[in-house]
Structure 1
Amino acid sequence: MCSAVPDPNPVAAPDDILTVTGLKKHFGGVRALDGASFSLRRGEIHALVGENGAGKSTLIKILSGVFPHDAGQITLNGAPYRPASPHDAKASGLQVVHQEFNLLQHLSVAENISIEAMPRNRFGLLNRPEMNRRARVALDAIGLSDVDVRAPVSSLGIAHRQLVEIARALQSDSAILILDEPTATLTERETTRLFDIVTGIRDRGVTVVFVTHYLDEVFAICDRVTVFRSGETIITENIPDTTPQNIVRNMVGRELEAQMGAATAARIPGDVALSLKGLRVASDPNPAGVSLDLHYGEILGIAGLVGAGRTELLRGIVAADPVLSGTLECNGSAVHFKDPRDAIAASIAFVTEDRKDEGLILDMPIAANIALASMKDISRGGLLRFAREQQIAEEGGARLRLKCGSVRDPASSLSGGNQQKVVLAKWLARNPRILILDEPTRGIDVGAKAEIYAILRDLAAQGVALLIVSSELPELTNLSDRIMVMANHRIMGTVHRPDFTEEGILNLAYGQSDTSPIADLQIEGAR
């Protein structure tokens, strides 16, 4: 039976392991939590959902001892709970896998997994063989048998780093495991494997808190769901008693179907904005490279599995990674970018998939981050014009509905989705003619996605050329005029909007360019 609205003063049930009552937290004038109340049962998978800025991240940081709450009460196993540090939380049996990675890049995979409990031999020295063995067992348990435990974490891709984070958390005997957007960078196969692991943990009596923006995951794996909005708990329901539409309605307080729906009219593309001919980046094993044309006024999506070479291709285009061979043309003229500054000068903007390390300077103010790519516009005589910086930041923030107390707050104070909006606002401030985006809505809630989709469609209508890589097929089919599918660093084919089917695109992504399920698709340039 569902509970329509969480009790503001819940009484702990016998099977409750943790209760939160009237929790409040303020940051200056911003109310991050405003009386949140909910409970966790032993041995359940409990989803926390809500728009970015709804209070989910703040709650997790309070529960994990990052900072204290201002008012309210938390009980763990019937006793008051107020961890003074993350170490206190872990000692109490509460472990968190954060959305942003907390791995030490220069250490090996095995060292990261065992960092809190390094095995020692009888002489007190590091027992490296045992450390590597434990890491191998941990990775094999989540299906990551292809990763060398001796390799530095810096050599891994985003998806593999996420799985290493999860493997490390699963090493501890936690009573409560909080997973913050654990599947944001995972393939469908990796996600399915993770679900098997998480349900196994649940069946052993561990409580799992599953924070996600993917409602299909909520219904696939979770037992209950709590919806947050504007720092408050709106509703808690058993999964069999609710629907995705009901959850979205409670999350955003408005209907999103019209905004999320695919464009109803096909765009008419203009001239070729960007042309690749046999472009091969340093990490590309395909000697033929990649060829494609991107037109003004169109959205060209690139689909593919993790490891297909999509991110590497985008980074090669903007000279973030070296190019070994091939040609790149802008507006019909050959260009040779030496570094990303050359690409920026050619009116190309690149929104990276890794906002934390490459898209933002987290300790700097939001305003400085938004204006970072527009330094010539905000400086005069070698001096910064802070009023102009403020203007650019406020205009960009308003355009993307950025939720913050002040644009002078550090970027680190924002939720993940609002950080992504800052990255996008930074590049939109330059009014680029070509916009390249790698996972543009990773870690962003459905409401913010709808807003960003509308902005991207509007840019295409204004004649901007957009090249988008996304691991979410519904996102690509929603936005794109064409979808090019990559596998093993090759373009397997191009599918036009009238022929979009997830089955056909996935067949191409798995390298099955001649299988019957896609026989009716208009495949061009398979190579």
Structure 2
Amino acid sequence: MPPLLEVHGVVKSFPGVRALDGVDLDVRAGEVHCLLGQNGAGKSTLIKVLAGAHQPDAGRISWRGEPVRLTDPQAAMSLGIATIYQELDLVAGLTVADNVFLGREHARLGLTRPSSANRAAARLLERLGHADIRPTAEVGSLPAAAQQMVSIARALSQDAKLIIMDEPSAVLDSEEVERLFAVIRDLTAHDVAVVYISHRLEEIREVGDRITVLKDGRTVATGLPARETPTREVITLMTGRDIEYVFPERREHPDLDAAPLLEVEGLGLRGSFADVSFTVRPGEVVGLAGLVGSGRSEILESVYGARRPTSGTVRVGGRRLRPGDVAAAVSAGVGLAPEERKSQGLLLGESISRNISLSSLARFARAGFLSRSAEAEAARQQVTALEVRPADVDREVRTLSGGNQQKVVLARWLLRDCRVLLLDEPTRGVDVGARSEMYALIRGLADRGVAVVVVSSEIPEVLGLADRVLVIGDGRVLTEEPAGALDEHRVLDLVMEDAAAHGGPMHTRDDEHAQREGDVA
């Protein structure tokens, strides 16, 4: 029996770049085929070719042994190819059920049948282990992890024979990842094929059957057994060199008695977290570890002023910040690299230069006019310092890889001379080769005296980067310890013990918090 999907010598070029330069791949029914490669290796372009969004310049695609032309997304879907993109393509103003069946609405005699769609969506979400997601809820109001599940439900609703999943676990906690893997195993048991893309090599070993590795738009290896191929071999194929997973050495801080740059005291946000206190000294990296939904991101956003806390204070350099005031935080030297950098941290249609200068435009004003030459020169200095690639500051930031987009966000705050840097999932969607580069960059910022706070869903990353770690469980600080005194098992034990002891999400205790929290003046 021929493979379900075969790709032979596919080539795709864009102005100035050949994104795919001869890709070969075959996917069998009922297998999980893992597609690996650094950012810029061609994975995203290949996905869009298979989804019918891009047309190849050369090469051949076969489906069940027959040549096919995927002229548009509808052609791909008609064959049974469904794609779940890393940047979810949901319509925020529509309900969950509307998104699941978008373009395939339940109707009779020309009239839509919302109740039928709601019931069908509920069955799909229950299959995914998320019966708690209401089909009638507006999808834009859901957290990122729930939105991911809605996108997966949409793929399941299409009766797909091949589902392409691009970084599906990036916004999921460990329990949700296990649910996802259970769904994938159920799909493959019914002869559905899955193309799975992830930078987390441990996931590849757990869920994958075979591996294809892309580098510089070419297939450098295909059909490798996922569980038996050594990690070092996979990394070498992806990068062309040996890379060790090492974090930069923590330096001995000579100024541990120095006054904190950032002081957070009794901070609370009703329904999200309560009574959070910590300090960060110049040159320190403090990590917030915990599961998705524990309140970590909300803490950073409240410190930054993007959310107005219901209790507590934030001080920078001894000066109290006005709550819920981003401008005041930025003026005090606070910068935030948000989790959703594409939607919240970047202007994708603007240049690298404009994205870097965005928070410092006033310094480039001359008699009321913006000096574009001064703006571009300042951006070039940051691009050179952070080794952003490619180094063309006039290039649209949407064309950069995930790692280089993250560098642009950091460059913005370095240009602003920020003293406190808040990093939410700094390596999300960053490939294995660029991660060590990002780690060194973060440690280098601390060595220059910046106070850094890091949130990451990958507990080893928090422990490897931070000097001190706050373990967050269900909106509370469970413990604060030196990073060297913790390990992944200890962190997970603390979180799970807390969940068992208190039960239920933070918002079920609103009345208790209301008694303790007062409005911030």
TM-score by length of 2: 0.91
Deviates further, 325-334 or 214-223: 325-334
Verify: 1:310 aligned to 2:296, yes or no: yes
- Between the aligned partners of 2:429 and 2:317, the Cα distance in structure 1 is 34
- Between the aligned partners of 1:224 and 1:331, the Cα distance in structure 2 is 53
1:236-280 superposed Cα distances (whole Å, 9 cap, x missing partner):
2122441111101111122222x6335254545442011111112
Aligned to 2:268, which of 258, 268, 280? 280
Question: Residue type matched to 1:91 in 2?
Answer: S
- Cα pair distance change 1:69/1:377, threshold 3 Å: farther
Aligned to 2:453, which of 444, 460, 467? 467
Question: Residue type matched to 1:86 in 2?
Answer: P
The structural deviation recorded for 1:285 is: 6.0
Deviates further, 34-43 or 310-319: 34-43
Which residue of structure 2 lines up, in the alignment, with residue 8 of structure 1? none
Deviates further, 111-120 or 349-358: 111-120
Deviates further, 180-189 or 69-78: 69-78
- Between the aligned partners of 1:397 and 1:163, the Cα distance in structure 2 is 37
The structural deviation recorded for 1:462 is: 1.2
Aligned to 1:387, which of 354, 363, 373? 373
Which residue of structure 2 lines up, in the alignment, with residue 376 of structure 1? 362
Deviates further, 206-215 or 329-338: 329-338
Aligned to 2:259, which of 256, 267, 271? 271
- Cα pair distance change 1:179/1:445, threshold 3 Å: same
Deviates further, 246-255 or 71-80: 71-80
1:323 match: secondary structure:
coil
1:82-481 map, 5 Å: 82-121=69-108, 123-236=109-222, 237-257=224-244, 260-261=246-247, 263=249, 265-268=251-254, 269=256, 270-284=258-272, 286=274, 289-404=275-390, 406-481=392-467
Question: Residue type matched to 2:14 in 1?
Answer: F
The structural deviation recorded for 1:42 is: 2.2
* Count of equivalent residues: 499
Aligned residues of 1:280 and 1:324 also touching (Cα < 8 A) = yes
Question: Residue type matched to 2:163 in 1?
Answer: L
**Structure 1 residues without counterparts, runs of 5 or longer:** 1-13, 516-526
Deviates further, 80-89 or 196-205: 80-89
1:353 match: secondary structure:
coil
- Between the aligned partners of 1:510 and 1:19, the Cα distance in structure 2 is 44
- Between the aligned partners of 1:241 and 1:281, the Cα distance in structure 2 is 47
Q: Compute the RMSD of aligned alpha carbons.
A: 2.1
- Between the aligned partners of 1:261 and 1:437, the Cα distance in structure 2 is 17
Aligned residues of 2:307 and 2:324 also touching (Cα < 8 A) = no
Which residue of structure 1 lines up, in the alignment, with residue 31 of structure 2? 44
1:392-424 superposed Cα distances (whole Å, 9 cap, x missing partner):
333333444433484323222233343333222
1:223-243 superposed Cα distances (whole Å, 9 cap, x missing partner):
111111111111121224411
- Between the aligned partners of 1:200 and 1:475, the Cα distance in structure 2 is 31
1:48 match: secondary structure:
strand
Deviates further, 397-406 or 442-451: 397-406
- Cα pair distance change 1:62/1:395, threshold 3 Å: farther
**Structure 2 residues without counterparts, runs of 5 or longer:** 502-515, 517-521
Question: Residue type matched to 2:153 in 1?
Answer: A
The structural deviation recorded for 1:494 is: 0.9
- Between the aligned partners of 1:137 and 1:428, the Cα distance in structure 2 is 48
The structural deviation recorded for 1:321 is: 1.0
Which residue of structure 2 lines up, in the alignment, with residue 483 of structure 1? 469
The structural deviation recorded for 1:282 is: 4.8
- Cα pair distance change 1:59/1:404, threshold 3 Å: farther
- Between the aligned partners of 2:398 and 2:118, the Cα distance in structure 1 is 34
Which residue of structure 1 lines up, in the alignment, with residue 2 of structure 2? 15
1:492-511 map, 5 Å: 492-511=478-497
1:196-243 superposed Cα distances (whole Å, 9 cap, x missing partner):
111111121111100110000111111111111111111121224411
Aligned residues of 1:28 and 1:405 also touching (Cα < 8 A) = no
Aligned to 1:35, which of 10, 22, 28? 22
Aligned residues of 1:486 and 1:508 also touching (Cα < 8 A) = no
- Between the aligned partners of 2:325 and 2:370, the Cα distance in structure 1 is 25
The structural deviation recorded for 1:372 is: 1.5
TM-score by length of 1: 0.90
Question: Residue type matched to 1:277 in 2?
Answer: E
- Between the aligned partners of 1:307 and 1:72, the Cα distance in structure 2 is 44
Aligned residues of 1:53 and 1:418 also touching (Cα < 8 A) = no
- Cα pair distance change 1:324/1:241, threshold 3 Å: closer
